[in-house]
Amino acid sequence: MTASYPHLRLRRARATGWSRALHRETVLTPANLIWPLFVAEGRGVEEPIGSLPGVSRWSVELIVERAREAVALGIPCLALFPNTPAEKRSDNGEEALNPDNLMCRAIRAIRDACGSDIGVLTDVALDPYTAHGQDGLVDGAGYVLNDVTVSVLVAQSLNQAAAGADIIAPSDMMDGRVGVIRAALEREGHENVQIMSYAAKYASAFYGPFRDAVSTRGLLKGDKKTYQMDPANSEEALREVALDLAEGADSVMVKPGLPYLDIVRRVKERFAVPVFAYQVSGEYAMIEAAVAAGVGERDALVLETLLAFRRAGCSGVLTYHAPLAARLLGA
Ligand code: PBG
């Protein structure tokens, strides 16, 4: 209470549960969640990922069980990432174009089991398929070549769309890819397949556990700084978003998540389009490590971080905690 304004008490609205509910500005529901899943070769296979405690790779028929679980929990969309067997990885990542690759088999199996009850978002980039772990084709010096990579990404997108993908999500950060992928989808009769571009994707230290999950950590030589963004930049993020929207993206993503909420907010205010964020593997692992160290409570940390994404302006969040959060929110 201040001496000059004794009647101004913001605590009045916070005094009771009903009043806090009445004044809450932001809501989080299971409909705001996208669940990333890692697909493994084989049958009956569940492979826990050491650096992502609580997350496993699943073989296709077990991925279908996860899809059914997601439908039951009210999670509207899955994001799929394949752990391509080592012998199918090559310098040019041709396996990405195989209509029977792990990704396409998982898409078809989910589609057969769940129909249109759930959306399937598929990552477009070559890193799970290349022997060098880069997202595109490289020259002799290891530089990732833009335009030849884009032509492969177009073929990869069409391959995923033909298998039944609902949202194509290019995560490669090549210039110009959204426009040519959009044109190809239109040409091939996939006019209702959406594009969610990883528009502002940063060269981040938070992707480590993901690289374990898709077995690229040991393969990757160097880094991805010649195509992913410098964490120092936000004007550049606005340019990236503007280009992807002009080229035909339906929605855009910011990645990583919590350390980049300022980018989410700037993008939302500037463009007023659906913005998503990826709470990436390192962020998940940090929460789990905090819980294991006894410094925080998992359920509360998860719900607070996800609410923060919504408050910043996100339509939804890709998070490995999606099933936990959906359970907590549904209760
Ligand atoms: C690769 C891709 C990455 C992630 C999603 N797609 C890793 C990378 O760029 O090296 C990271 C997701 C996460 O860390 O959870 N195209």
Catalytic-role residue among 88, 221, 224, 255: 255
CATH value at residue 269: 3.20.20.70
The boundaries of the domain holding residue 100 are 27-330
Q: With a cut of 90, say whether residue 199 has pLDDT above it.
A: yes
Q: Is residue 6 part of a domain?
A: no
Read off the pLDDT of each residue in 35-54 and give the average, rounded to a whole number.
98
For tokens 């399937």, what's the residue? 120
Using CA atoms, how far apart are residues 165 and 190, in angstroms rounded to an integer? Answer: 10
Say whether 268 is catalytic: no
Instruction: Tokens for 232, please give them.
Output: 């120092």
- For 97-122, the pLDDT digits (tens) are 999 999 999 999 999 999 999 999 99
Residue whose CA is closest, atom 5 of ligand 1? 171
Q: With a cut of 90, say whether residue 193 has pLDDT above it.
A: yes
Q: Is residue 13 part of a domain?
A: no
The whole-angstrom distance between residue 95's C-alpha and the CA centroid of its chain comes to 22
Query: Ligand 1: which of 172, 207, 225 to mutate, most ligand atoms within 8 Å of CB?
Result: 207
- For 154-176, the pLDDT digits (tens) are 999 999 999 999 999 999 999 99
Q: Is residue 3 part of a domain?
A: no
Separation of CA 262 and ligand 1 centre (Å): 20
% of the chain residues with pLDDT over 90? 97
Using CA atoms, how far apart are residues 86 and 218, in angstroms rounded to an integer? Answer: 12
Instruction: Tokens for 3, please give them.
Output: 């001496």
Residues lining ligand 1, Cβ inside 6 A: 123, 125, 127, 135, 171, 207, 210-211, 224, 280-281
Q: Is residue 18 part of a domain?
A: no
Separation of CA 207 and ligand 1 centre (Å): 6
Q: Which of 252, 257, 169, 135 is nearest to 206 (CA)?
A: 257
Residue whose CA is closest, atom 12 of ligand 1? 280
Read off the pLDDT of each residue in 250-267 and give the average, rounded to a whole number.
98
Q: Taking the chain, what is the end-to-end CA distance rounded to the nearest angstrom? A: 38
Catalytic-role residue among 88, 201, 224, 268: 201
Q: Is residue 218 part of a domain?
A: yes
- Residue pair 199/252 in contact (Cβ under 8 Å)? The answer is yes
pLDDT-derived band at 2, boundaries 50, 70, 90? low
DSSP assignment letter at 152? H
Read off the pLDDT of each residue in 172-192 and give the average, rounded to a whole number.
98
Q: With a cut of 90, say whether residue 125 has pLDDT above it.
A: yes
Query: Residue 1: what pLDDT?
Result: 53
Residue whose CA is closest, atom 8 of ligand 1? 207
Read off the pLDDT of each residue in 131-140 and give the average, rounded to a whole number.
96
Q: H or E stretch including 327?
A: helix 322-330
Using CA atoms, how far apart are residues 50 and 53, in angstroms rounded to an integer? Answer: 6
3-state helix, strand, coil split of the chain in percent (to 5) is 45, 20, 35
Q: Is residue 157 part of a domain?
A: yes
Q: Is residue 88 part of a domain?
A: yes
Query: Residue 6: what pLDDT?
Result: 83
- Residue pair 128/86 in contact (Cβ under 8 Å)? The answer is no
Using CA atoms, how far apart are residues 193 and 109, in angstroms rounded to an integer? Answer: 18
- Continuous H helices in 136-175: 146-163
Q: Give the orientation angle of helix 281-292 with respect to helix 298-312, to 10 degrees.
A: 150
Query: Ligand 1: which of 171, 226, 258, 279 to mutate, most ligand atoms within 8 Å of CB?
Result: 171
Separation of CA 20 and ligand 1 centre (Å): 38
Say whether 255 is catalytic: yes
Query: Residue 331: what pLDDT?
Result: 62
Q: Is residue 161 part of a domain?
A: yes
Could you give the number of structural domains in the chain? 1
**Residue 313, strand partner residues:** none
Using CA atoms, how far apart are residues 299 and 194, in angstroms rounded to an integer? Answer: 32
- For 272-311, the pLDDT digits (tens) are 999 999 999 999 999 999 999 999 999 999 999 999 999 9
- For 201-238, the pLDDT digits (tens) are 999 999 999 999 999 999 998 899 999 999 999 999 99
Separation of CA 5 and ligand 1 centre (Å): 52
The whole-angstrom distance between residue 308's C-alpha and the CA centroid of its chain comes to 17
Q: Which of 95, 125, 113 is nearest to 164 (CA)?
A: 113
Using CA atoms, how far apart are residues 114 and 103, in angstroms rounded to an integer? Answer: 16
Taking residue 218's Cβ as centre, other Cβ atoms within 10 Å add up to 8
Instruction: Tokens for 67, please give them.
Output: 């899809």
Instruction: Tokens for 105, please give them.
Output: 């088999």
pLDDT-derived band at 123, boundaries 50, 70, 90? very high
Cα dist from 111 to 118, 145, 215, whole Å: 8, 34, 26
